[in-house]
Chains A and B, each alone.
Chain A
């Protein structure tokens, strides 16, 4: 779990990428990130800093104009989603993350369509973390609440046994109690050995559970450190954690 022990090739190595949606407008201006085997990485930063875009850059959903994204030493920059999934990148978008007209079971099967033989084994792994999904496999995903959909989406991404799991704001739209639950689930997924990169608005909670954090600001990785270092950093506290203090 700790970063220090890993000397092998990192699972994800993003090197100085510049990326954007519109021609001439860059959202990421030279952003770098490293995720070692088994790490839980948190990405925080103000709105518009490029957090979600960074995930999209890994998942080939935004034009990467320069720099590279490496997965275990192989260049995956700009590959299409199906290729990325086959190579072991699992993505859980914030919205529209399930097939609403399919059942939970069918959603999970969709996650594994490239390797259907492993269904049983992977289902066991997933229901080990999300026990309640196992009991409701026949329910239509469209009837689920946002938080439940998030769970289904995470499970679906885990079906392919990804080398890295990308989570876009897993706590978004949840009440505080359910947010805590979501963070604990993410921690469990990571403890089961899945390298995880998570973008979060709830910076404090995110930093509490992650091994290392990146603070993005204006498309660059402004600070990085262990979750604990960033929690204790007055600058980060002032800018991004905020307090309700009196």
Chain B
């Protein structure tokens, strides 16, 4: 596979870098000059029908989920009554750690089976459909903890992502003439995508040699190899070098422009605000709010679920480790001195008892 590929590589690289040229100079400025606003792209609006509330119907949903429940022992990880994801838009799924975001991703993509519930992707029921079929149907995902195949090269990882490869059939694989041309096309596409994600220089390195951030990029690029309709990104920014963030945001906006639907999990609120058209907030397995980013982030229920009720407190002061004059500047020092650590502890225990009932 790799013998003939290296001979052809320079050519395809040349063409792709040429097409990248106009963009290149901006990369350097990107890092400082505020989170530079390249071209403010229009948000998609008018996605929902009626008032924005958890489970609101969408004008053109690509995913419709109903009554999805998943429990692990006594813990209910996901309990979603109704959820619709709008087509052709960028939807962010946010919520505190343990809210069930990744579990929901796993369920929707067939990596896990729910205790109950049904969901429809693009008009087809996906309940019980295994992950590899889900991805063939045009719904691909990336992982929070990347799953690159370390002992394949970067470009080989990419080529795995392409679907409908003729060489996958045992008998056809024996006759290179059948698949060689397709393989070349796939490789060319792979190199184009790698160039977009600035990984082309690494094409012939083992994927294991990539950093966590680069693996994230590779995984996203590989997902695109299957030419999906819906791309699901699990914390695409986590571990990615902050200097790359801006260009990665642009990549995601590009996907929308190309007609794909994007659903992503993210903790970085700046990113959510910047690119999401719609935000779904989960907490303790349930969808607690939905809406456009600006409205959702002012919603008290969201602030409570996401930030916690005590963000104004400095726990160092509460626990008596530090005096009030040394308090964290983002917190309320006076309030921190008044709260008792034992009360916060009791609040935690009380919540625990609530949830275990």
Binding site for B on A (CB under 8 A): 1, 22, 24-25, 46-49, 132, 142-148, 171-185, 187-188, 191, 201, 204-205, 207-209, 211, 218, 227-228, 231-232, 238-239, 242-246
Which 3 residue pairs are nearest across A and B when measured between Cβ atoms?
A176-B308, A48-B212, A181-B348
- Residues of A contacting B310 in the complex (Cβ-Cβ under 8 angstroms): 176-177, 180
Q: Is B130's CB within 8 Å of the partner chain A?
A: no
Given contacts A25-B208, A175-B283, contact A145 B315 (CB under 8 A): no
B7 contacts the other chain (CB 8 A) = no
Query: Would you list 14 pairs from A and B whose C-beta atoms are within 8 A, ordered by A residue?
Result: A145-B75, A145-B356, A148-B352, A172-B98, A173-B98, A180-B347, A184-B319, A184-B344, A187-B341, A188-B319, A188-B341, A211-B321, A242-B269, A242-B270
Is there contact, CB below 8 Å, between B309 and A244?
no
How far, in Å, is B224 (CB) from chain A's closest CB?
Answer: 22
CA distance A203 to B50 in the complex (A): 39
CB contacts (< 8 Å) of B297 on chain A: these are 244, 246
Closest Cβ neighbor of B146 among chain A residues: A48
Q: How far is the CA of A232 from the CA of B297 in the complex (A)?
A: 25
Q: Which of B74-121 contact A (CB under 8 A)?
A: 74-75, 96-98
Contact (Cβ within 8 A) A177 B315? no
Q: Does the CB pair A182–B329 fall under 8 Å? A: no
Q: B288-316, CB under 8 A of A: which get 1 and which 0?
A: 00000000010000000111111101111
Contact B347 A181, beta carbon cutoff 8 Å = yes
On chain A, the residues within 8 Å of B352 by CB distance are 145, 147-148, 178
Task: Mark contacts of B233-245 with chain A using CB atoms, 8 A cut-off: 1 yes-contact digit, 0 otherwise.
Answer: 0010011001000
Q: A208-B315, A208-B328, A232-B329 are in contact. Are A175 and B209 (CB under 8 A)?
A: no
Complex partner residue of B306 from A143, A146, A187, A244, CB under 8 angstroms: A244
B75 / chain A contacts, CB cutoff of 8 Å: 145-146
Q: Which residues of B contact A (CB under 8 A)?
A: 73-75, 96-98, 150, 208-209, 211-213, 235, 238-239, 242, 267-270, 283-284, 297, 305-311, 313-319, 321-322, 326, 328-331, 341, 344-345, 347-349, 351-352, 355-356
Report yes or no: B355 in contact with A176, Cβ–Cβ below 8 A: no
Q: Is there an interface contact between B211 and A48, defined as CB atoms closer than 8 Å? A: yes
Query: Contacts of A188 on B, CB cut-off 8 Å?
Result: 319, 341
Contacting pair B349 A181 (CB below 8 A): yes
Q: A145-B73, A176-B311, A181-B347 are in contact. List 11 more A-B contacts (CB 8 A).
A: A145-B75, A172-B98, A173-B97, A175-B308, A176-B308, A181-B345, A184-B318, A184-B344, A218-B211, A228-B322, A228-B328
List the A side residues contacting B208 at CB < 8 Å: 22, 24-25
Q: CB distance A209 to B212 under 8 Å? A: no
Q: How far is the CA of A143 from the CA of B351 in the complex (A)?
A: 17
Contact of A175 among B73, B235, B284, B345 (CB under 8 A): B284
- Name the A residues within 8 Å of B315 (CB-CB): 180, 183-184, 187, 205, 208-209
Residues in A with CB closer than 8 Å to B328 are 204, 207-208, 228, 231-232
User: CA separation between A187 and B314, bound complex, in Å?
Assistant: 13
- Residues of A with C-beta under 8 A to B74: 143-145
B212 adjacent to A47 (CB under 8 Å): yes
Q: B313 to chain A: which residues have CB within 8 Å?
A: 180
A51 to chain B, nearest CB (A): 11
Residues of B within 8 A of A49 (CB): 212, 239
Contact: A178 with B319, CB < 8 Å? no
